[in-house]
Chains A and B, each alone.
Chain A
């Protein structure tokens, strides 16, 4: 009998403990975020930590993925309708593809349900990127990372050769030639030369400045004199790039710039250079100027490369996810993320915080870029176009084919894709 009571008591205690744990677990919501790795992932962590302090019943699982991994996993999960993700980060050119499939929650409806309005402090041009169809449709994503492609140059080197600023791409070429002639330890020009997205992204500001475009009235526009001038200029400028530039990614560009080995970088993103003014990590504190790209036959137009945050329709925690999204894009959290991880904000007010402007002197150029910058073409075939463009541009870069042949081949293939 005594043994029976002992066993019953133990059973009772275990059952009570399990029930208590179960009821506690039942109140907890876990949000899964499909996010980016690196500094973007660190920024997301800061936002999550602050949110959890205010909302102890919400837990998070953050997947920190590279760009291609994030795209693959997002498509596979959303296509499967598994509800595995509550929030996803989306590279802005990919957003139309995602929403074409109708995978995201309509944020206009969410704002309306809560009696809220989109905060006008968020840069309107950046908010519009989250609309489908672009730029006037319903809102499906909010801007989280306000990346804008910018141009970096060593102010001290420019002054040494009698330049104050670089207004035209021709000026860039001239400075590159001077640096090549007189600065034996310095690489005149840096850019990402890896085929596909990196080389195209680096080249587009030149392409646009020379008056060329990718699509005109929805048709391929590579076989034009403007495009040829742009590619020929790029190839001429690339003669002053490092020997191994075809393997250069963001890390190599950033390292060369921060170590003082590079005079100019034709493409930098604020997300890469958060530590540029940190004397512990940078050899060029106060020496690098980050500005909008030079123009040529047309004025410069910064290229926007924002990371947007959206809520999948299949999420089981849409309300909670929306609540976190508001927290993530709030002024307070954007300031925190910018300060601690260099994450580029998407709000006017955060760009004007004096402490941050001192830390990140390119904020005025970044904000200008966000307000008036251009987005890459909104087409279902952007990934293919970018790949073909990048492949042939790199073939021209390594001398495999001429600039004209590269453009001819791109034109044929893009026409074929669009037909």
Chain B
């Protein structure tokens, strides 16, 4: 292609790409830029008063015990929730592999939690977890065990929320892994069986390696989602007891929409964004390497 032709060929694509690019810039870069800009100000959203204070918001947040605790809780939640959701998703996909009677019904029941509103789920689990009248403590009492403060014991509350998240989002990981498994040619398993491979060997040496891209993808999606945990904390514990379920998103919400301290909320958002971007890059690099 001649140079002139190439320029006009490329120009055509630039022109049709430009509106989409502008829209993306407006919807993504502009808010990001605003958040970054505001993070250097003492900014009272109610009065609109803005004073430039440099890195003061970042310094105060870094030294804030509550922020540190929120950060730790977020990491714990993200790690346990995403890993266990993927683990159970893979397990379910393996259990439901192949065709058998009742598979459709079983799949429907499994994906049910995913389609219910989070607030409804939280309301139901709040009753399950209730210290006096909750289902779990009722069972514990009936088998002669001491009741547990599922949402009121600071050592347990975060793990109780993790359990709700696992219950809600394991179906999602199951669906993606199941889709990945159904794309594996059945002949591969047949050939392995004829060669005398056992089920566990087939799973370990054939299925899991083939599914590694899907597993990594679903792990990335769940990690990014769990890192932004807010709704379940808001509905189940309000960040308590004794801040044991405070997360980064909840911290940002409090600074932004309870105190209307948008400067500090923006600085906390930037820090969170930095970590989410780091996690996303980590997974994306691995995913792209797998693709290559």
Question: How far is it, in angstroms, between the C-alpha of A13 and the C-alpha of B260 when the chains are bound?
Answer: 54
CB of A244 closer than 8 Å to a CB of B = yes
Contact status A195-B241, CB under 8 Å: yes
Binds A, one of B33-41, B144-152, B194-202, B205-213: B144-152
CB of A79 closer than 8 Å to a CB of B = yes
Contact status A247-B258, CB under 8 Å: no
Q: What DSSP secondary structure best describes chain B's contact surface?
A: loop
Contact status B152-A391, CB under 8 Å: no
CB of B254 closer than 8 Å to a CB of A = yes
Known: A75-B45, A247-B152. A242 touches B239 (CB 8 A): no
Known: A72-B257, A244-B131, A246-B240. A79 touches B154 (CB 8 A): no
- A-side interface residues, number (CB < 8 Å): 27
Contact status A245-B152, CB under 8 Å: yes
Contact status A391-B243, CB under 8 Å: yes
Q: Which of A247, A387, A397 contacts B131 (CB 8 A)?
A: A247
CB of A23 closer than 8 Å to a CB of B = no
CB closest chain-B residue, reference A187: B132
> Please, which residues of chain B bring their CB within 8 A of the CB of A68?
257-258
CB closest chain-B residue, reference A388: B66
> Please, which residues of chain B bring their CB within 8 A of the CB of A243?
131-132, 147, 149, 152
Known: A72-B257, A394-B241. A97 touches B152 (CB 8 A): no
Known: A68-B258, A79-B48, A387-B258. A242 touches B131 (CB 8 A): yes
Known: A195-B238, A195-B243. A387 touches B152 (CB 8 A): no
Interface centre among B47, B130, B242, B257 (most CB of A within 10 A): B242
Contact status B257-A244, CB under 8 Å: no
Contact status A391-B66, CB under 8 Å: yes
Interface residues as binary, B218-249 with A (CB distance below 8 Å gives 1, 0 otherwise): 00000000000000000001111111000000
CB of B259 closer than 8 Å to a CB of A = yes
- B-side interface residues, number (CB < 8 Å): 26
Q: Which of B47, B131, B152, B259 contacts A100 (CB 8 A)?
A: B47
Q: Which of B46, B154, B254 contacts A101 (CB 8 A)?
A: B46
> Please, which residues of chain B bring their CB within 8 A of the CB of A245?
152
Q: Which of A75, A97, A98, A195 contacts B239 (CB 8 A)?
A: A195
Contact status B238-A398, CB under 8 Å: no
Known: A100-B47, A244-B131, A247-B151. A195 touches B257 (CB 8 A): no
Contact status B254-A387, CB under 8 Å: yes
> Please, which residues of chain B bring their CB within 8 A of the CB of A242?
131-132
Question: How far is it, in angstroms, between the C-alpha of A384 and the C-alpha of B149 when the chains are bound?
Answer: 28
Known: A242-B132, A395-B243. A79 touches B238 (CB 8 A): no
CB of A383 closer than 8 Å to a CB of B = yes
Question: How far is it, in angstroms, between the C-alpha of A246 and the C-alpha of B155 when the chains are bound?
Answer: 13
Known: A194-B240, A196-B238, A244-B151. A100 touches B130 (CB 8 A): no
CB closest chain-A residue, reference B64: A413
Contact status A384-B259, CB under 8 Å: yes
CB of A400 closer than 8 Å to a CB of B = yes
Interface residues as binary, A192-235 with B (CB distance below 8 Å gives 1, 0 otherwise): 00111000000000000000000000000000000000000000
Interface residues as binary, B236-280 with A (CB distance below 8 Å gives 1, 0 otherwise): 011111110000000000100111110000000000000000000
Interface centre among B48, B131, B152, B240 (most CB of A within 10 A): B240
Question: How far is it, in angstroms, between the C-alpha of A247 and the C-alpha of B242 when the chains are bound?
Answer: 11
| Nearest CB of B to A315, in Å | 18
Contact status A244-B130, CB under 8 Å: yes
Contact status B238-A194, CB under 8 Å: yes
Given contacts A101-B48, A247-B152, A247-B240, 15 further A-B pairs with CB under 8 A are A68-B257, A72-B257, A79-B45, A97-B260, A101-B46, A195-B238, A243-B147, A245-B152, A246-B241, A246-B242, A247-B151, A383-B258, A387-B258, A394-B240, A400-B242
6 cross-chain pairs, A with B, having the tightest CB-CB distances, nearest first: A244-B131, A195-B240, A246-B241, A395-B242, A244-B152, A246-B152
Interchain residue pairs with CB less than 8 A apart (6): A71-B258, A97-B260, A100-B46, A194-B238, A244-B130, A394-B241
